[in-house]
Amino acid sequence: MGSTFYKTLVRIFFVCTVSVLAQFKAVAVNTTVMGDLPSQLVECSGVDFTGGASFWTHNDGYGDNNLYKVSNTGALSRTVNVIGAVNSDWEDLTHDYSRTYMFIGDFGNNACDRTNLHIYRTPYPSTVSGTTVTAEAINFTYPDQHQFPSPWMNFDVEGFVHHNSHLFLFTKADGDAIGYTKMYMLPDVPGTYVATLVDSFYTNDRTTSADISPDGTTLILMSNSHLHLFRNFQGSNFFDGQHTQVNISGNWTQKEALSFWSNNEIYLTDEDNGDGNHLYYIDLSPWIPTVSTGISENINVENIVAAPNPSNASFSILLNSVQTGGIQLRLFDLTGKMVREVSATEPVSSLRMETADLPGGVYFYKLVADRRELKTSRMVISH
């Protein structure tokens, strides 16, 4: 405990100094408005890329237990009600690597007085039919909060990510506590826990959302005006990585939700406070470079179908008659473990995966090209 506390103090002092100097060198990025969010979203507070061409999102409170699926231009296509959960203050969404589960952060805590903090785990809504999903609760408390409400206002969380079978939560400091973001860690399975305080970082603003890239190499913390990028870290030591602050150009709006679209492209939303309620796109390739082959642009994601489903001996994915190489098809079981992968480095028009030797049950397949996740969907194996 002493070592961790000392490390945190040293980090705050060092990073504070560096961060203040960096303000004068911080770069800016422009946003592109992709569309308006539907009227059902009064305060869009979390957004999660489906792996296709759309996002799941939700309202901040209002007792609204719905998840809304919107396109990358903001058009509403589906509504799913979460059973067994209460929207006290939902603030963010994330998912595990295989999209077996979605996690809903009911941890908004502006007054730092809540004793009923939850993260709800549901089946990933894109992989189920019908209009409902059932939630299981991950209940938790903070190890360093001893007063309710707390006069030190750094127990409000509005962003989290899933990484290496754990959930990582990032605080939005307020009042005299503004300056640094604390990072807590929790298991990703239902139960009741005391969160682990892992680290902190001096951002000098208020973190409103977080996400980690599909390849797990870049973490972003967002505020209303800034993006904090962390790269080249080891394991989950995010704050030991390379830090870059990117300022968001344009008029100030209440930005609340962030999601990676690819490893260097993001979408974000803001709340409807007169100038907001939009879906925005940002290209971060100047700071997160990657080598693109153009494969993903040649594939019509919406028309990708795996057949047969259920599968017995094998299933195949047609690539819309596009002859292309450099693509991977991965299969995951319900625990999120990858059980099989096939890839093509030479041009092909389809990918075939053998399943005869796999136990029957529900799996999830993922199609990846250009290090971009093109589609994730359910596959049933039945012998």
pLDDT at 371: 65
- SS3 label, residue 178: coil
User: Please, what are the domains in the chain?
Assistant: 2-283 (2.115.10), 296-381 (2.60.40.1930)
Strands 255-260 and 66-71: unpaired
237-267 residue pLDDT tens: 999 999 999 999 988 888 999 999 988 999 9
Query: What is the mean predicted confidence (pLDDT) over 312-316?
Result: 94
Strands 338-344 and 372-381: unpaired
Place of tokens 């040293």: 10
**pLDDT tier, 3 (very low <50, low <70, confident <90, very high otherwise):** very low
Side by side, the strands of the sheet bearing 117-123 are: 92-95, 101-106, 117-123, 136-141, 191-194
69-123 residue pLDDT tens: 999 999 999 999 999 999 999 999 999 988 999 999 999 999 999 999 999 999 9
- In sequence order, the β-bridge partners of residue 383 are none
Q: Are 203 and 228 contacting, i.e. CB atoms less than 8 angstroms apart?
A: yes
Q: d(Cα 71, Cα 38) in Å, to the nearest integer? A: 10
> What is the token pair recorded at 365?
């397949």
In 3D, which of 341, 377, 339, 378 has the Cα closest to residue 359? 339
pLDDT at 18: 42
pLDDT at 163: 94
pLDDT at 324: 58
214-244 residue pLDDT tens: 889 999 999 989 999 999 899 999 999 999 9
pLDDT at 21: 39
pLDDT at 81: 98
118-137 residue pLDDT tens: 999 999 999 898 999 999 99
262-295 residue pLDDT tens: 889 999 999 876 677 899 999 998 998 765 545 5
pLDDT at 160: 98
Secondary structure of 90-159 in HEC code, one letter for each residue: CCEEEECCCCCEEEEEECCCCCCCCCCEEEEEEECHHHCCCCEEECEEEEEECCCCCCCCCCCCCCCEEE
Q: d(Cα 107, Cα 88) in Å, to the nearest integer? A: 8
